[in-house]
Structure 1
Amino acid sequence: MKTTYKGLFKTYILRLSCMAVGLSTVLTACDEKELLNPLPETSVQADLVFSTPSRVLGQVNGLYKALKHGNFLGGRYLMLNDIRGEDFLNRLNNIFTGYDAWNHTINSGSNDALTTWSSAYATINLSNLLIDGLAANPDVVTAELKAQYIAEAKFVRALSYYSLITFYGQPYIKDQGASAGIPLRLSGQMTSDNNGLQKSTVAEVYTQILKDLDEAEAGLPLSYSSALLNTTRAHKNTAIALKTRVYLTMGMNDKVIQEAQKIVSPAAPYRASAGVAHQLQPSILTIFRSDYTSTESIFSMPMAALDYVSGQSSLGYEFNTNQEYSLNPQGIFGNATWRSTDERKTMVRTNSSGTYLTKYMHPNFLDYIPVLRYAEVLLNYAEAAAKTGNLAKATELLSAVRKRSDSAYTFPASAISTSEALVSTILLERRIEFLGEGLRSNDILRNLLTIPAKGTAPSISPEQPEYIFPIPNAEISANNSL
């Protein structure tokens, strides 16, 4: 069969997106004729996709393109994570802009149940196809490039599985991962032959995530030739930073500290000594207003005129332009410890209908979307240190983040004098620092906390089924092993 490079991978993505990962129902949900007969653009036979270095590089670039899909890390996934928490109020009751997630009324047929599932598994499949293809065509690129590309694919796969398991799986700390998780697909799919796949346990999924990240760290370069590439492609420090998040989610605090110390200097001012010299910027506004590729931005989703995310999946649209979600005055915005002198409070605007987050304010929705920032590594390290009894180190790291934006602030003794109090203070700081960046839901779940009530939305305890997302109907219909 002759098809185009672009058409071939569009087919993979659309098949997976139409029904999650099960391929058996795709042709009833999508237009088979359109998918299998794309318009010729740069005609390439399917068996020649791995025939040249440029075509292989095109597939690597396609992994990052899939990550920044509007339903995934380019927008909606981060939004759903934030609005499940207590810091935003829904104004329009629109199910297509996350109302079910905000109100905890998601069911298997909900749009919000499908979007992350389908886009994440589509990205995983592209990663698997690249790994499989490089194994089958070992001499197309140099051994060094092959190792790097496989490492990039494994990083993307790990990030995608982490995104899935923290939405659709029970928190690891609930039972050390013994709960049923999600299907773990590690081979590329081009047909419907392997639709049926049982759930792996939560622990098995995390084991694979960490295996991929360890192997990615080993195979990734220390850095690239430009700040843009250092921000938008995975390198060694990118894998390390993600491991601090994964281990924190698993409650493995010693491992968080071990990984963080690879890229955090022993004393302030904190900086990575190897690879990209990651460090906090003097002003947080740099990251969201003037330089999307500073050394604080470890990994971000770049946006350009040809691939920006607009409308119902855009963070700028949801939080700012269309005013879908206002800041809850009883949430972090109204917390007394977030003072008016804090520079982070300049990234809001208020009108007659409420107060809105303006982190994402590019007029054409071309804001880079942050996925991993150095500030998170510092706070991951701080939380792990607090939980293991090193209150002095935890307070130093916490203060570095707070004083960057509010230099005159001093934490009261009651907020930092015990491990429990300090952890609560760090979690509060995370709500301020990462507001609108998609970390809040997991911060609640990984600590087995109740999701607080807000507005008309009820609280949700860890025992309730609404605590995690349901597997979407499309996958249930296509995968007869579930």
Structure 2
Amino acid sequence: MKKKINYSILFCLTLLGLSSCDRSLLNPIPQTSVSDASAFSSTTRVQTQLLSLYGALKDGNFYGGRYVIYGDIRGEDFINETSNLVTGSDVWGLNATNSATAVVNLWYFAYLTINKCNIFLDGMEAGGSAVVGAEAAAKYIAEAKLIRALSYYSLLQYYARPYIDGNGNKPGLPLRLNGIRGVGQSNLARSTVAEVYTQVLKDLNEAETGLPLKYATDAENTTRAHKNTAIALKTRVYLSMQNYASVITEANKIVSATAPFSAPTGVAHALQADITTIFTSPNYTTTESIMSMPMTATTGDFPGTQNQLAYYYSPNATNGGIGNGEYSLNPKGIIADTTWRAADKRRAFLKTSGTGATAKTWLIKYKAASPYTDYVPVIRYAEVLLNLAEAKARTANAVDAQSVALLNAVRQRSDATKTYTAASFASSTDLINAILLERRIEFLGEGLRNNDLVRLLQTIPAKGTVPAKTPSEPNYIWPISASELALNTLATDN
């Protein structure tokens, strides 16, 4: 008898032509149900299985919301306003426990995505590849490997020590590469950080080989993985490993040598003239957005309750916003930096409510009201430019001219009155600091701040009532999920 397939977390990806499913099919154990040969018995079924991987990745508890939010609120640029554990007050306070909502759910939904990728890859090997043909199979397998790589990389940023701490020899993650098809398959010791990064890069390298150069539409070029997606993500991964030579090698594949910078192959990635447009419909699919999580108003195809970026960052209606006012901007954080000039277009993402001592500033980068259908950015071309700028600055013995030009490209796009020259920096260290500052401004609300702090083993600065957190203190990284420790007797805690 054929087993019934559980399409858990198969969200409607309208841009990809897929309708939503019944989320009541989601069961906590096993993490995904058995997929037998019938799941891969036709081209349509294989494609449905593939698109379900994107559905899992874009869940509001993972890359459709929470992962990005946690990356911001762990840093110093936001102030918690509601003291609500459900919306991450413990994450902001740097004191989340093994059983915290954030710790348990992010682990669960990331591994659910990984397991769906593993089951898909198993199914393709067992017969799915023959059904769709070698060319399509290579593309589909590459997409699954990229999603698995992104998921493992994302978990490393919260649950494992930074690569630089021991050159990757610290405990990383249980490295599951085969599908879990039932109970009793959870026991697996944690691989080292280096071993997990090795697998991430293996998946991304193989993905780059198998992925298409581009798709037929801008929508697919933004919401499905292609060669440049894999390359761009590798610049992020290598930056986290402080392997700056490899950042340069990868970035040079998709960044021209001189301004105006653009990708010479595949999708013609480039900065858009006005940053404020790319966060507004219908401009979610410009060539600056290398990968984003698409959302629509269709039931089941948006992040869901208390997962949405605008819900967290925008003020409530009373204060002129569309969200719940969960997090305001720290008045002593990046918004106070005097080099971020008032004329900078990125200041348009800020909104002040109240006056005097009661005044608060909010982030309104995400503008779609409930049910909150803003696309969630995964990686933009601006990040690739700044990744390359930082890598070149760190490997140079002097102020690197291309680094300065890349920094200028990002800054001048929003503030045409500011021009950096080599004379602007007394040393390469000053240039690096300017690039790191630019990242805080450019990617505010896009989830990169936690990654930038921990990859450099920097202290997480104090904010509001929360004291600074040094790399040697508990909760600099998260504890392992209580659910994993209960199910996996070989797992150890941080």
Aligned AA (2:87): T
For the 8 Å contact 1:415–1:425, the answer to whether it is kept is no
Alignment counterpart, residue 91 of structure 1, candidates 75, 81, 84: 81
CA distance in 1, matches of 2:163, 2:9: 34
Distance of 2:159 and 2:35 partners within structure 1:
37
AA matched with 1:136: A
Alpha-carbon separation, structure 2, partners of 1:383 and 1:439: 15
Say whether the 8 Å CA contact 1:344–1:433 is kept in structure 2. yes
Q: List aligned pairs for 1:53-92, cutoff 5 A.
A: 53-92=43-82
Write the mapping of 1:312-323 to structure 2, written as runs, cut at 5 A: 312-320=306-314, 321-323=323-325
Q: Does 1:331 align with 2:355?
A: no
Counterpart-to-counterpart distance in 1, 2:467 and 2:135? 53
Report the equivalent of 2:194: 203
Q: Shift of the alpha carbon at 1:412?
A: 7.8
User: For 1:204-353, what aligned pairs fall within 5 Å after superposition?
Assistant: 204-290=195-281, 291-306=283-298, 307-320=301-314, 321-352=323-354, 353=359
Percent of aligned positions that are identical? 51
The 3-state SS of whatever aligns with 2:278 is helix
Distance 2:179 2:290 in 1: 28
- Give the SS at the match of 1:71: coil
Could you tell me how far 1:47 is from its partner in structure 2? 3.5
Structure 1 position 429, deviation (Å): 0.4
SS in 1 for 2:267: coil
Secondary structure, counterpart of 1:355 in structure 2 = strand
CA distance in 2, matches of 1:45, 1:348: 47
Q: In the alignment, does 2:158 pair up with 1:152?
A: no
Match of 1:393 among 402, 405, 408: 402
- Tell me how far 1:465 sits from its aligned partner: 2.1
The amino acid that maps onto 2:39 is: V
Q: Deviations over 1:54-109 (max 9, x none)?
A: 00000110011111100111001100010000000001110000111100111101
Alignment deviations for residues 250-275 of structure 1 (CA, whole Å, 9 cap, x no partner) = 00000000000000001000000100
| 1:399 Cα deviation after fit | 0.6
Deviation at 1:7, TM superposition (A): 4.6
Structure 2 distance, partners of 1:410, 1:273, is 25
Q: Tell me, yes or no, if structure 1 residue 166 matches structure 2 residue 157.
A: yes
Number of the residue aligned with 2:360: 354
Taking structure 1 as reference, are residues 8 and 193 closer, same or farther at Cα in structure 2, changes over 3 Å only? same
Q: Could you give the per-residue CA deviations for residues 221-247 of structure 1, whole angstroms, max 9, x where no partner exists?
A: 000010000000000000000000000
Aligned-residue Cα RMSD (Å) equals 2.1
Partners of 2:271 and 2:427 lie apart in 1 by 26
Name which of 462, 467, 478 aligns with 1:458. 467
Q: Deviations over 1:285-319 (max 9, x none)?
A: 12102400000000000001121114311101000
Secondary structure in structure 2 of the residue aligned to 1:462:
coil
1:94–1:45 Cα change, 3 Å: closer
CA distance in 2, matches of 1:54, 1:157: 22
Q: Which residue of 1 aligns with 2:386?
A: 379
1:151 and 1:185 map into 2 onto residues whose CA distance is 17
The change in CA–CA distance for 1:415 and 1:77 in structure 2 (over 3 A counts) is farther
- Report how far residue 392 of structure 1 moved: 1.2
Shift of 1:126: 0.6
CA distance in 1, matches of 2:65, 2:8: 25
Between the aligned partners of 1:196 and 1:85, the Cα distance in structure 2 is 33
Structure number with higher helix proportion: 1
**Gaps spanning 5+ residues in structure 2: where?**
11-20, 315-322
Q: Helix, strand or coil: the match of 2:379? A: strand
1:102 is matched with 92
User: 2:486 matched to 1:477?
Assistant: yes
Distance (whole Å) between structure 2 residues aligned to residue 45 and residue 283 of structure 1: 46
Give the letter for the 1:268 counterpart: A
8 Å CA contact retained: 2:256, 2:263: yes
C-alpha change, 1:325 and 1:481, in structure 2 (3 Å) is: same
The secondary structure found in structure 1 opposite 2:172 is: strand
The 1:412–1:395 alpha-carbon spacing in structure 2 relative to 1, beyond 3 Å, is: closer
TM-score, reference length from structure 2:
0.90
1:408 aligns with 2:417: yes
Quote the Cα distance in structure 2 between the aligned partners of 1:51 and 1:410. Answer: 58
| CA shift digits 1:298-348 (9 cap, x unpaired) | 000000112111431110100011110001110001110111100000012
In 2, Cα distance between equivalents of 1:417 and 1:161:
39
SS of the aligned residue for 1:477 comes to: helix
Cα distance, 1:413 vs structure 2 = 6.8
Closer, same or farther in 2 for the Cα pair 1:17/1:415, shift >3 Å? farther
Unaligned runs of 5+ in 1: 27-34, 37-43
- CA distance in 2 between counterparts of 1:265 and 1:76 reads 34
Distance in 2 separating the partners of 1:404 and 1:47:
51
Given that 1:391 and 1:416 are in contact with CA atoms closer than 8 Å, whether structure 2 keeps it comes out as: no
Q: Is the 8 A contact 2:239 2:391 kept in 1?
A: yes
Is 1:186 matched with 2:177? Answer: yes
State the secondary structure of the residue aligned to 2:131: coil
Tell me, yes or no, if the aligned pair for 1:108 and 1:470 is still in contact at 8 Å. yes
| Inter-partner Cα distance in structure 1 for 2:229 and 2:185 | 32
Q: 1:480 to 1:417 in 2, by over 3 A?
A: same
Match of 1:427?
436
Aligned AA for 1:232? T
Q: From the superposition, tell whether residues 416 and 5 of structure 1 become closer, same or farther in structure 2 (CA, over 3 Å).
A: farther
Mean CA deviation greater in 399-408 or 2-11:
2-11
Residue number in structure 2 paired with 1:32: none
Give the C-alpha shift of residue 367 in structure 1.
0.5
- In the superposition, the TM-score normalised over structure 1's length comes to 0.92
Q: Which runs of 4+ in 1 moved over 6 A?
A: 8-11, 13-17
Aligned mates of 1:154, 1:336 — CA distance in 2: 43
